[in-house]
Amino acid sequence: MKKINILSLDCDWITNIKQQEELLSFIIPIIYDHTDIVTTYSHNEIYPLFTHGYDEYNLINIDHHHDFHYGYIGKDTTVLDEGNWLFHLSNIFKKKINYTWICNPDSSHIFLKEYKNLKSFSFDHNLDYITTRKFDKIFICCSPDYASNPGVISTYKIIEKIVSQKHTNLSERSKEIIDDLSLKNVRLSHIVEHLDKVIEKIVKEKNK
């Protein structure tokens, strides 16, 4: 059986500083271990990552929203958007998507009858629920129109910078320094300040 493992991260999952630190601790080591990473603003841009030819699509989505669809509040489900991309994918890849959703306690849930085309569905509120750290594809966005916390955008920009530096082969120096941090014990403001200095130093060295 041919399977593909996809990690989807929408930074709008963040609602407080603690979650920001948890998310950065989780995602930064994964970024350095992977190459197929897409960063963008809108979540529906994940759609092209799903290609035919697989028997199973194991999708883990860290997100405040389930993105199955919100037709009950007047949304048009026939048009692909950031709130219904999973609904569209489940209709194309029927009974092939194993969907794991890391949400928040106050996230609105999918109605039982709605996810009949998913092969399986599970959810949790903690990143520790994710046991694997190896993925075939990684998608990261921030859905700025739906962000409820100002830290959503800043966290996305931190991640975007790290991915960008990695893609330009400038990551090794910053990785060494980041590895020295105990991210679980460092407040987000310190992380932001640290990463800005790392990136500035790398750019200066590149331009010598």
- What would the 3-class secondary structure string for the chain be? CCEEEEEEEEHHHCCCHHHHHHHHHHHHHHHHCCCCEEECCCHHHHHHHCCCCCCEEEEEEECCCCCCCCHHHCCCCCCCCCCCHHHHHHHHCCCCEEEEEECCCCCCCCCHHHHCCCCEEEEECCHHHCCCCCCCEEEEECCHHHCCCCHHHHHHHHHHHHHHHHHCCCHHHHHHHHHHCCHHHCCHHHHHHHHHHHHHHHHHHHCC
Q: What is the mean pLDDT of residues 11-25?
A: 92
pLDDT beyond 60 at 109: yes
Q: What is the mean pLDDT of residues 88-109?
A: 92
**Closest to 59 in 3D by CA, of 97, 94, 27, 23:** 97
What does the pLDDT read at residue 168?
A: 61
Give per-residue pLDDT as tens, 59-97.
999 999 887 766 655 555 677 667 688 888 998 999 999
Give per-residue pLDDT as tens, 27-51.
999 998 999 999 999 998 999 999 9
pLDDT beyond 70 at 119: yes
For the chain, give the mean pLDDT. Answer: 81
Phi, psi of 74 (to 5 degrees): 95, 5
What does the pLDDT read at residue 65?
A: 82
Q: What is the mean pLDDT of residues 189-201?
A: 57
- pLDDT range class, residue 177, cuts 50, 70, 90: very low
- Residue 169 Cα distances to 16, 19, 69, 82, angstroms: 32, 29, 39, 31
Please say whether the beta carbons of 99 and 86 come within 8 A. Answer: yes
What does the pLDDT read at residue 207?
A: 55
What does the pLDDT read at residue 183?
A: 47
